[in-house]
Structures are given as structure tokens and as C-alpha cells.
Homo-oligomer: A and B are copies of this chain.
């Protein structure tokens, strides 16, 4: 899998060759704050899926150092017990310097493991942010891992990942405060309903004041998935069968409601736009270099306010538009 995250032409050709064989794996995202025990939990899930005879791919998305050009932590220590199992494939991915690079690299890695025949692909991510949300959108089922007693400030993180959660795993549930954490999560899910209701009310109110925007009747809401909240103790291997069962329930629900196709179409669209964007940019930068100078020279002129980046982007784009 060397070079896939470098996005070079050879890797693209390889990915293109693999494409028809993709689309079979179930992708499970695992996300949550540092210290929540995601790696330990991932390890238990690997063991659980292996017991069912499934082949498992694991993608651990790491914070990284630009100095080493890769993951500081490398493949997670706790997963080493599975490293010699030929049914398990583990790969660390590091934050790349370029825009959108990490989510694209993760998407490519998912497709390779999928084509290799892994039945389940677990994608483990740290923290919160745009990347997390992009990556969560690649998963069929996203598990958000929380631990008791993280305090009020952590709520800010939860607010960001609440909507990507298909399941909540309250890990270290043998600690004091686990029940309180479950209760708080339940309240946040209820709050989410309330926020939606307020938004609907606001929309209704605007319509009364400004007249209706004459929309077609909204499509019937698909039956909603209520994210279950499960208590686990990953370090002691407790609650894992129940968690695997909940992932399976979500899988069945997505299949039954047609939401699986919706998710996969959204993912396909994201991937296509990303491919197109990179391909277009490559040409444009070549045109730029031929006509205006290399990017670093152009950047210097922009930084000195000697060149207007908006006008220049328009000009280069217009040059490429002539044919169409």
C-alpha cells in the first residue's frame, strides 16, 4: 500500500483498477477524545469479528509530525497482538500537510482494504474537527467513545460529534459516574430533538411573516435511528458482544431503510469531487507555471499585494474554460 497516500499517478491507476471490487466491506468508525480507550476497544472489536470468521482491516488515523513525515506513534501498540494474524490488516495514517489530504488518504485506504476482501474496516480517529466529520461520513456505522467524568468542558467536543454518532460506547463504565454520563448523553440526544423542533418552528414563523417559499411537500422523513448508548469496559473485555450486536442492528436498519445506499452515494460523490478537484488543480498549476511563473513566485507577488489572487484565479480558470 506504499505511496497510496501520496496521491501520485501510479497509485491512482492502482486505485482505479481496484474500484470495481470495492463496495462490499462494512466500515465502522471509532472516534472520541484522547484517553477514551479507543485503541483498546478497537482491539476487542477485532477479536470479536475474528471470532465470527470475518477479515478485519484497521485504519488508525494519527496526529503527526511534519518532521518525520509520518505517524509519531506508528501502529498502535495495543493492536500488536493481531499483527501476525493474516486475517487482520492494520495501517496507520498520518495527518498530511495538504488540504483534505487526510480524509482522501483514509478514503483510498478504505477502498484498498475493501478490494482486498476485508469484511469489516475499522477506522479509528482522534479528536474533533472537519477531518473527523469527513471521515465519519465514510463509515457506515460510527461509534463515539466517551468516558465518565470528563467534565463540562468536554461537552464542547460532544456537541461536534453528536450528530455523527450512530452508537455511543461509554467506556470504563466501571468508574464512578458512568450512569451520569449515560444520562447526560441521553439528555444531549433529547436536546438535539428540541433544537430541531425550534428550527422547524423558526422556519414556520419565517414563512408566516414572509409568505411561503412555495416548496413542494417535503419528502416523508425516514424513520429515525435512535443512537443506543452502551456501557463497556474494554480493558476487561466487558460489553463487547452487546456493542457488536448494536453495530449489526444498525447495519440491518440501514439496509432496511435504504439509508445505506444514501450513505454510499454521498461517499461516492465526495470521492468524485475530490478526484476531480485534484485533477483540475494539477492542470491549472501547470498552466499557471507556463504563463505566470511557479506557484511560489506567484505566492510572493500575492503576499506583496502586487498580484490579485481573485483576478488571477479567474483568469487561469477562464483559460481552461474556453473549450467548453
Contact = CB atoms under 8 A, between A and B. Distances in A.
Number of chain copies forming the complex: 2
Interface in A43-88: 62-68, 72-73
What 5 pairs between A and B have smallest CB-CB spacing? A63-B160, A322-B323, A35-B153, A269-B299, A129-B129
Q: How large is the interface on A (under 10, 10 to 19, 20 to 34, 35 or more residues)?
A: 35 or more
Interface in A304-319: 305, 308-314, 316-317, 319
Given A295-B269, A303-B268, A283 B317 contact: yes
Given A15-B310, A265-B303, A321-B323, 15 more contacts: A63-B157, A64-B160, A65-B159, A67-B192, A68-B195, A95-B160, A96-B130, A100-B100, A126-B156, A127-B129, A129-B129, A129-B130, A130-B131, A283-B321, A319-B323
The prevalent SS among residues of A at the interface is helix
A235 interface: no
Interface string A130-160: 1111100000000000000001011011011
A277 B264 CA distance: 25
Contacts of A320: 280, 283, 320-321, 323-324
A273 interface: yes
A116 interface: no
A190 to B, nearest CB: 13
Contact of A271 (B265, B269, B309, B319): B309
